[in-house]
């Protein structure tokens, strides 16, 4: 059978001692850098890209892919331990993961994240291997109208991210959408909302925003009342997930894997929604939705699995079409070109060893990561016993380096300070940052697809309901809205007293 032969070729390539070594180096480097606060997968790959140029093409890509997964694992670690997400996906993990850590369950949270990611990675690797071509064909059916409707589903669901007032959560989404529009209008090249600052002409930097509103704001909150409040986490109870934890995480991991795999295939921004979508689903079907935001296991297991599954399946458009689904993929395509491989529809037939080698290395990389990360949990948890006043100067220093290294742009550092202030202010007002972040990443996409869909239909808005996929998505959005709003109207929302 073809598939088996191909996979055998792939594993033979990826499991050569050299490639295993590069894969290991990649995941190690990725984990190391990803764990440093403020540096997510994209920044990590951009930083480490040059060191792969000297290698063989296959080894180089295997190592880059390793860095990518490694950075994602590492990014979740920082999100859980110190509430500092480096990517939009780990922003979701931070919501409940950090709360688990504060309750002394950092070890369990990290283990759940690792196990969920590994399971999702395994399943989606199989998906990539077996179904890549047909899935690509489906993804290409998505035009701008479909993406717009998909984003609407995402936005409507985002209300579930908040555990306080629905109106404030909506306000934060809209605020995020508006912040996402800062920069240059891609349709006309008109600069907007940039206050005449040239550095803002490509918009606000996501990393600066995330580090500011999550990380810096959290540090400030912890410094509010140093002497009275014990900012360091309660005593760590048990490192490993208990029997109940296993029960609680199984179903969310399965659902997260399905959601993430499906969304990751869409090159126009599907993977961004994966972790948000999974969180929403888990919160909605949970028997104890009140637990979310206070350290719900499903709130870590689901999104982490979805995120990793999406990261994996977002390789599909790259491998089958040569099209980058996200900035990381764009960097990998650049690396391929430098290696003398121009990615395109023929890579699978022209370079089977490379193509299948990468697929096989995905699974090997995930395996290495879980073997690497589970023992490390003890170490990470120890890190939390360092007094907080010794920890945060390091966090600030690494954030500064990380944010600066993305674009060598000092303006981004000023943005960190600004968003730190804004994030702190919003936290004092009980406005939560997660919906803001989702709005921020979706804002430009939403507008872009809306306007493009209208151009394509020559100004006829019925395009959103006459195209079947789009119509289905919009109906789904309406259904979600009803489900989300109903209980809040009926129960008069026992105004949740958030966190501390």
Partner 1 sequence: MHKLAIYLAATAALAFTGSAGAQGYPERSITMVVPFAAGGPTDTVTRLVAESMSKDLGQQIIVENVGGAGGTLGASQVAKADPDGYTLLLHHIGMATSATLYRKLPYDTLNAFEYVGLVTDVPMTIVAKKDFEPTDLKGLIEYVKANADKVSLANAGIGAASHLCGMLFMSEIKTPLVTVPYKGTGPAMTDLLGGQVDLMCDQTTNTTKQIKGGTIKAYAVTSPKRLDALPDLPTVAEGGLPGMQVGIWHGIYAPKGTPAEVTQKLSASLQKALKDPNVVARFAELGTVPSSEAEATPEGLKSRLESEVTRWKPVIEAAGQYAD
Partner 2 sequence: MKSLSFSARDLICGLLFIAVGLFFGIQAYGLEIGTAFRMGPGYFPLVLAAILVLLGIIVIVQSTQLEHEPMGPIAWRGLLFILPAPIFFGLTVRGLGFVPSLFFTGLLAAFASTKMRPGTALLLVGGLTLFSVIVFSYALGLPFRRFGPWLGM
The contact set with partner 1 (CB under 8 A) reads 46, 49-50, 53, 140-144, 184, 186-189, 191, 198-199, 201-202, 267-268, 317, 321-324, 327, 330-335, 337-338, 340, 342-346, 407-409, 444, 448, 452, 455-456, 458
Query: How far is the C-alpha of 32 from the C-alpha of 73, rounded, in Å?
Result: 10
Choosing among partner 2, partner 1, none, which partner's interface includes residue 405 (Cβ < 5 to 8 Å by kind)? partner 2
Which residue(s) pair with 192 in the sheet?
A: 183
Q: Site for partner 2 (CB under 8 A): which residue of 9, 168, 251, 483?
A: 168
Q: Which does 440 bind (CB under 5 to 8 A by kind): partner 2, partner 1, none?
A: none
Task: Give the separation between CA 298 and CA 291, rounded to whole angstroms.
Answer: 10
Among 33, 65, 273, 442, binds partner 2 (CB under 8 A): 33
Q: What does the alpha-carbon distance between residue 75 and residue 42 come to, in Å, rounded to a whole number? A: 11
**Which of 106, 271 has the CB closer to partner 1?**
271
What lies within 8 Å, CB to CB, of 232 at 6+ separation is 384, 385, 387, 388
Please state, in angstroms and rounded to a whole number, the distance separating the CA atoms of residues 361 and 263: 22
Q: How far is the CB of 459 from partner 2 (least distance, A)?
A: 3
Contact between 20 and partner 2 (CB under 8 A)? no
Using the rule CB under 8 A, which residue among 21, 197, 342, 410 binds partner 2? Answer: 410
Among 290, 393, 468, 487, binds partner 2 (CB under 8 A): 393
Does position 458 bind partner 2 by CB under 8 A?
yes
* Least CB distance to partner 1 at residue 315 (A): 14
List binders of partner 2 among 185-204 (CB under 8 A): 185, 187-188, 190, 192-193
Element holding 238 (H helix, E strand): none
Q: What backbone phi and psi angles, to 5 degrees, belong to 44?
A: -60, -50
Nearest distance in Å: CB 94, partner 2: 19
**Residue for token digits 């999104």?**
303
* Rounded Cα distance, 500 and 498, in Å: 6
439 neighbors 175 (Cβ within 8 angstroms) = yes
Q: Which is nearer to partner 2, 220 or 254 (CB)?
A: 220
- The single-letter DSSP state of residue 117 is H
The answer to the question of residue 32 lying near partner 2 (CB under 8 A) is yes
Sites for partner 2 among residues 205-244 (CB under 8 A): 216, 219-221, 223-227
Assign 143 to helix, strand or coil. coil
């Amino acid at each position: 059978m073809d598939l088996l032969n191909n996979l055998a070729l792939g594993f033979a390539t990826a499991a050569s001692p050299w490639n295993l070594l590069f894969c290991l180096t990649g995941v190690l480097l990725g984990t190391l850098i990803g764990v440093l606060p403020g540096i997510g997968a994209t920044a990590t790959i951009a930083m480490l890209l040059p060191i792969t140029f000297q290698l063989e093409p296959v080894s180089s890509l295997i190592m880059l892919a390793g860095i990518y997964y490694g950075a994602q694992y590492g990014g979740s670690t920082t999100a859980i331990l110190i509430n500092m997400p480096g990517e939009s996906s780990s922003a979701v993990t931070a919501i409940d993961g950090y709360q688990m850590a504060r309750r002394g369950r950092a070890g369990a949270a990290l283990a759940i994240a690792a196990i969920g990611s590994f399971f999702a990675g395994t399943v989606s690797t199989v998906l990539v291997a077996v179904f890549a071509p047909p899935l690509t064909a489906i993804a290409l059916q998505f035009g701008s109208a479909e993406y717009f409707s998909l984003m609407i589903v995402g936005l409507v669901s985002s209300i579930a991210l908040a555990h306080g007032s629905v109106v404030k959560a909506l306000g934060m989404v809209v605020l995020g959408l508006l912040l996402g529009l800062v920069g240059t209008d891609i349709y006309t090249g008109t600069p907007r909302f940039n206050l005449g600052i040239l550095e803002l002409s490509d918009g606000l930097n996501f990393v600066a925003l995330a580090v500011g509103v999550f990380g810096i704001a959290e540090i400030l909150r912890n410094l509010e009342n140093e002497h009275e409040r014990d900012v360091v986490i309660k005593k760590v109870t048990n490192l490993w997930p208990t029997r109940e934890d296993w029960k609680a995480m199984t179903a969310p991991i399965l659902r997260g894997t399905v959601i993430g795999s499906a969304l990751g295939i869409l090159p126009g921004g599907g993977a961004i929604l994966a972790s948000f979508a999974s969180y929403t689903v888990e919160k909605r079907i949970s028997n104890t939705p009140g637990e979310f935001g206070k350290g719900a296991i499903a709130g870590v297991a689901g999104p982490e699995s979805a995120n990793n599954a999406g990261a994996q399946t977002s390789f599909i458009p790259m491998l089958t079409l040569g099209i980058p689904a996200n900035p990381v993929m764009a960097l990998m395509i650049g690396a391929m070109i430098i290696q003398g491989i121009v990615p395109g529809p023929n890579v699978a037939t022209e370079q089977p060893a490379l193509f299948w080698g990468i697929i096989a290395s995905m699974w090997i990389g995930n395996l290495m990561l879980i073997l690497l990360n589970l023992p490390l949990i003890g170490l990470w948890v120890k890190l939390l016993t360092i007094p907080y006043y010794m920890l945060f100067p390091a966090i600030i220093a690494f954030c500064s380096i990380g944010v600066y290294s993305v674009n060598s742009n000092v303006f981004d550092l000023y943005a960190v300070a600004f968003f730190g202030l804004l994030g702190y202010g919003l936290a004092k007002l009980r406005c939560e940052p997660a919906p803001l972040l989702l709005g921020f990443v979706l804002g430009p996409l939403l507008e872009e697809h809306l306007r493009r869909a209208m151009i394509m239909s020559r100004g006829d808005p019925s395009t959103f309901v006459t195209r079947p996929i789009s119509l289905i998505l919009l109906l789904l959005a309406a259904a979600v809205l009803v489900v989300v709003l109903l209980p809040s109207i009926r129960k008069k929302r026992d105004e949740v007293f958030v966190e501390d």
